[in-house]
Structure 1
Amino acid sequence: MPLQLPHLIIATARPSETTRWADEFRKAYPDWKVDEFVAGQPSTGATYAVVWQPDTALFKQEPTLRATFNLGAGVDAVAGRIPAEMPLYRLEDAGMAEQMAEYALYGVLRAVGRFQPYEEQAREGKWKAYRPIDRRQWPVAVLGLGAIGSKIAKVIASLGYPVRGWSRRLHEADFPCYAGEEGLKACVSASRILVNALPLTPQTEGLINRDLLSNLQPGGFLINVARGGHLVDADVLDALKSGHLSGALLDAFTQEPLPADHPYWGIPSVMVTPHISGITVRELALEQIGSRIELLQQGKPAAGRVDHSQGY
């Protein structure tokens, strides 16, 4: 008996985005049935959900779901909404790693003042050359060594910056890696630039706080490409005020959009961006999710499955 074709239901935080993703899946997989989630409607009988910040009613309304696919690498926005027994898959990269590596590299260049002096003097019509920076004076710590963090670390290291990496489990790489609580302290204390690429879990929430930042070398710089929940904003602001942090490049916040009266907006050394460091590339996401569904249809394991107990 031939396998029944996949039946998808798409659910995102915005109806217009749900429709757009549904249309993309219909084009990419014309033989599949693709529905859009509408709360309060009868069950569609879907077998796979493709979601981003879905309504929790989805999982009660669609009891036939076999697995859920998240339209992003971070699953903190869905992990608490999905039944614990439901297999959950996340995107692994899907075009985001290169974007986030570029973003982090831009932050490093801002931190070391590679181009800022020239931007300022160009506005005044001045012609003056500065000595090259000494990269050895700007060691970088990358927290999180998944597909995205590893890419960030490799790109920065390839340009001659001393790089160290930290993750929950010890990794092997071409740069020093650390793990555990003591390893975190050692990694950060040997660094002047801190790049956060961690998943948000109960263990990492509020990790970038007064204690951690105090280990960073004086005049340090913070780059956050992960989640706002990693940062204790009051502690980051205190470090900026005291000068222990010389600046920051921040892309994610506990409340988004960032409120107009938030102190980050008024600090010249802080650059705020609207959560754009790594945007899902639709074509790659469609291919990745589609290929994984095809594997599951054949009874084979698929990559990217989330460990609910770990949160990633």
Structure 2
Amino acid sequence: MPVNILFSARPALWPVYQPLLTQGLKDAGLDFTLATDLAADEVDYVVYAPNGGLSDFSPYTRLKAVLSLWAGVESIVGNDTLTVPLARMVDHGLTQGMTEWVVGHVLRYHLGIDRHITGQDGIWIPDPPPLASQRRVAVLGLGALGRAAAQALAALNFNVTGWSRSPKSLAGVICLHGADGLCAALSSAEIVVLLLPDTPATENTLNAETLALLPKGARVINPGRGALIDDEALLSALDSGQIGHATLDVFRTEPLPPEHPYWSHPNVTVTPHIASETRPETAAQVICENIRRGEAGEPFLHLVDRTLGY
């Protein structure tokens, strides 16, 4: 009997993913049916994105797993009708893209590139930056994306502290956890990078209290989730000079409304959620591997812990 796989995502993605998934499933030696309109009681796996329209999983009585195309699962993790394993997307193409974006913006702040680009006013100021080993960077979140970014920065000799809610260990990175660890990580960070998931426990990780812990003039980089930052608190910290500059790629409302004060603030750089994205070529490989594992009775990759929300 063939494995029946339902593709539930934006219709525009079907012609992109269909040939990639088809080839990957063939390479895995599977007998399969891949479609966008299978009968619910015949579906074994759902390749899922939140904007695909599927929200009620109760009719899918023989479903073995839901395999998300998105790294973030906050919109589905609390769905009471979903009782089978849920795997989030951990895609090495997405990870590489995020690492490049984070390293680029950390280097931009470290080297003072903005000042040199905008400050060509005829005044010669020989003020070289310190070496990377003298620059303290905190990466909040040590999942797949945070680990990769922290290790890339450490490889460039930045003084990197990583923080997570539970204990982690990472070569070349000082790893802290828990509430006390967050205070310690922020208290010395000249540049802070947010790569936490969006959960009730991580909302407003940067707020008036935690922003005040950072050294005056610290820089904030957020390619993680918009809800990680209390926007009003950040704007106030920017106005006071407590935070020197913020580069923000994600927001509570997207696209960011034209009237939002981030657009016009002189010490904010807005990028339009471009830090990284799921690459179909590599994401399809992850999906096919998980289906192969499911059919072979092996553990799925990147399973979501419903109690933690990611």
Please report the TM-score for the alignment, with normalisation by the length of structure 1.
Answer: 0.89
Aligned to 1:154: 151
- Give yes or no for contact 1:22–1:36 (8 Å, CA) kept in 2: no
Does structure 1 residue 46 correspond to structure 2 residue 43?
Answer: yes
Letter in 1 for 2:165: R
What SS class does the counterpart of residue 95 from structure 2 fall into? helix
Q: 1:63 deviation in Å?
A: 3.2
Moved more, 21-30 or 92-101: 21-30
Q: 1:260 deviation in Å?
A: 1.0
Aligned to 2:33: 33
Count of aligned pairs between the two proteins:
303
1:308 to 296, 300, 306: 306
Letter in 1 for 2:129: I
Does structure 1 residue 130 correspond to structure 2 residue 132?
Answer: no
1:98 to 85, 88, 96: 96
Q: 1:18 deviation in Å?
A: 4.1
Tell me, in whole angstroms, the C-alpha distance in 2 between the residues paired with 1:128 and 1:201: 48
Tell me, in whole angstroms, the C-alpha distance in 1 between the residues paired with 2:211 and 2:62: 47
- Give yes or no for contact 2:73–2:88 (8 Å, CA) kept in 1: yes
Moved more, 53-62 or 287-296: 53-62
Q: Which runs of 4+ in 1 moved over 6 A?
A: none
* Change in CA separation of 1:220 and 1:302 when aligned onto 2, cut-off 3 Å: same
Q: 1:17 deviation in Å?
A: 2.4
* Change in CA separation of 1:59 and 1:84 when aligned onto 2, cut-off 3 Å: closer
Matches within 5 A, 1:146-295: 146-173=143-170, 174-295=172-293
What SS class does the counterpart of residue 139 from structure 2 fall into? strand
Q: 1:276 deviation in Å?
A: 1.5
Tell me, in whole angstroms, the C-alpha distance in 2 between the residues paired with 1:44 and 1:127: 72
Tell me, in whole angstroms, the C-alpha distance in 2 between the residues paired with 1:35 and 1:130: 62
- Give yes or no for contact 1:208–1:231 (8 Å, CA) kept in 2: yes
- Give yes or no for contact 1:88–1:305 (8 Å, CA) kept in 2: yes
* Change in CA separation of 1:139 and 1:36 when aligned onto 2, cut-off 3 Å: same
- Give yes or no for contact 1:93–1:148 (8 Å, CA) kept in 2: no
Deviations 1:200-222 (A, max 9, x none): 11111121111111111100111
Please report the TM-score for the alignment, with normalisation by the length of structure 2.
Answer: 0.89
Q: Percent identity?
A: 33
Letter in 1 for 2:156: L
Moved more, 106-115 or 96-105: 106-115
Tell me, in whole angstroms, the C-alpha distance in 2 between the residues paired with 1:168 and 1:191: 18
What SS class does the counterpart of residue 140 from structure 1 fall into? strand
Tell me, in whole angstroms, the C-alpha distance in 2 between the residues paired with 1:147 and 1:286: 18
- Give yes or no for contact 2:16–2:280 (8 Å, CA) kept in 1: no
Does structure 1 residue 66 correspond to structure 2 residue 64?
Answer: yes
What SS class does the counterpart of residue 222 from structure 1 fall into? strand
Tell me, in whole angstroms, the C-alpha distance in 2 between the residues paired with 1:94 and 1:61: 33
